[in-house]
Amino acid sequence: MKTLILTFLALSVSILPVFGQESDDIITLRGTVKSLKTKKPIAFANVYLKNSPIGINANEEGKFELNLEAIYKVDTLAISSVGFVSQTFPISEYLADNNKTIYLQDTTFELENVFITSIPAKEIVLRALNNIPKNYPTKPYRLKGFYRTSFKENNKYVRLMETALKIYDEGFETKNGISTEYIKMRKSYDYRNYKWKEGANYLASFILGDFIRNPEGNFQKMFGRWIYNVRGVTYLDKDEVFLITANIPVNNHYESYNAELYIRIKDYAILQLNYEYKWDPNYFPGIEVDSISMKRTGVKVKTYYRQYRGKLYPSYQSRVAKWNIYDYTKGGKLTSRMEIHDELLIHKVTPRFRRQPDEKLENSGDIYLQVKRYDRRFWRRYNKPVETALFREIKRDLEHEEPLEKQFRAEKMEDVIR
């Protein structure tokens, strides 16, 4: 009997899945995308399946990790980025040489191209805005992805929350027609010196703040105030793409507004939009919360789109918002500098998705206050950004207090809010 028990235990251990290894039903594609010319990483390169609505963006260091069901071995992996020649690999062949460096050939800008000077930059952007109903989905769809938000206070990270989520969108022509469903969450303790009852849902402001998706965003509502310039032409695959820079002229030294758009020439689709605003807090009123005044000093946003079946869907978005906190209990002095980092990574699109949750995405309320049991095995297999120097800094600062895994396992709010 003792021999039988030992034999059974040995067999049981041999068939248990080992964390960090690929199971029979999951394959993991890994790699790093770099420029062939400069040998530097290509930040946020598109990594996707040619024949499926599945993909991911590389991180800012060009690294990616894509978890797939084994049935997708018959598909083709594509890697692309604006300004580079795309590459494709049969997945079955890629797995034989996994976790490699993929070099993409650069495409040069044609600064003297005649076509550039024939259409004013402002007209190009206007055509892009008018073509939003044609280039982006107007029917309901669902996105599956990953959202991370972190707080940095006085040069130290003090709060982290990550959630696997589904986003339901009724289409680009439906104002605020977005709902969310949280699959799993994990979060650190809250080590902020300044804590307040959150008056804003950071996820909501992040998603609804997409200037292409939001009809009241700056590039539509304030279209006439922007000055646009064509910087050149580059390529995505074989399609020509305008690079357009923009700014809002101001007659002072305490504010600036700059943007960069990549617009595909054949259909005037906006493939990528980056913008950065800066303000001197001494010249602008703040947001009053309890005994403090919060004054925003800057925001920087990157938005990327990926095409599937003729429509462009969000694939990656990041935002860094910076604030100064002034404390009235201390004579209104500047007592804290706060940064909020948001990152949204989409890895699956379901077009023409009809079922929509009843609850819409609200601008108020803090999703950090929701409690969900931490599922370590789930997070090992879920598609999320590969760790970067930024995340390692977040982890280092938070683990100065307690191991992050221990913080993730906290299930009661009294353990989280400290």
- Kindly give the confidence (pLDDT) of every residue in the chain, 418 residues in length, as a single tens digit, with 9 standing for 90 and above: 434 333 333 333 333 333 334 445 889 999 999 999 999 999 999 999 998 999 999 999 999 999 999 999 999 999 999 999 999 999 999 999 999 999 999 986 655 544 555 789 999 999 999 999 999 998 899 999 999 999 999 999 999 999 999 999 888 878 778 888 889 999 999 999 988 766 557 787 778 777 777 655 556 677 888 999 998 888 998 899 999 999 999 999 999 999 999 999 999 999 999 999 999 999 999 988 888 999 999 999 999 999 999 999 999 999 999 999 999 999 999 999 999 999 999 999 999 777 666 667 776 677 777 777 899 999 988 999 998 888 999 999 999 989 999 999 886 545 455 4
Q: Are strands 26-35 and 100-104 parallel, antiparallel or unpaired?
A: parallel
Range list of H helices, 215-343 = 218-221
Given this model, what pLDDT does residue 334 score?
A: 95
Give the per-residue pLDDT at 128.
93
Task: Please report the pLDDT score of residue 2 as a whole number.
Answer: 39
Asked if residue 137 lies in contact with residue 172, where contact means CB atoms within 8 angstroms, the answer is: yes
Domain with CATH 2.60.40.1120 in the chain: 18-104
In the CATH hierarchy, which top-level class contains the domain 18-104? Answer: mainly beta
**Angle at alpha carbon of residue 292, lines to 258 and 257, rounded to 5°:** 5
Tell me the pTM. 0.88
Six-digit token string for 151: 């707080």
Phi, psi of 163, deg, nearest 5? -140, 135
Which pLDDT does position 224 carry in this prediction?
84
> What's the rounded Cα separation, in Å, for the pair 52 and 191?
42
Rounded distance, CA 308 to CA 50, Å?
A: 9
Backbone phi and psi for residue 348, each to the nearest 5 degrees, phi listed first: -150, 135
For every residue of 117-144, DSSP letters joined together read HHS-HHHHHHHHHHTHHHHS--S-EEEE
Residue 255 token pair? 């504010």
Token pair of 60, please?
């800012």
Position 202 scores a pLDDT of 75
Give the C-alpha separation, 8 to 60, whole Å. 47
DSSP 369-410: G------HHHHHHS--PPP-HHHHHHHHHHHTTS-HHHHHT-
Q: What pLDDT shows up at residue 6?
A: 37
DSSP bridge pairs for 293: 288, 326
Q: For the chain, what's the residue count?
A: 418
DSSP state of 110: -
DSSP state letters, 317-367: EEEEEEEEEEEGGGTTEEEEEEEEEEEEEEEEEETT-----SSPPPSSS-G
Count of beta carbons in the 10 Å neighbourhood of residue 98: 12
pLDDT at 45: 96
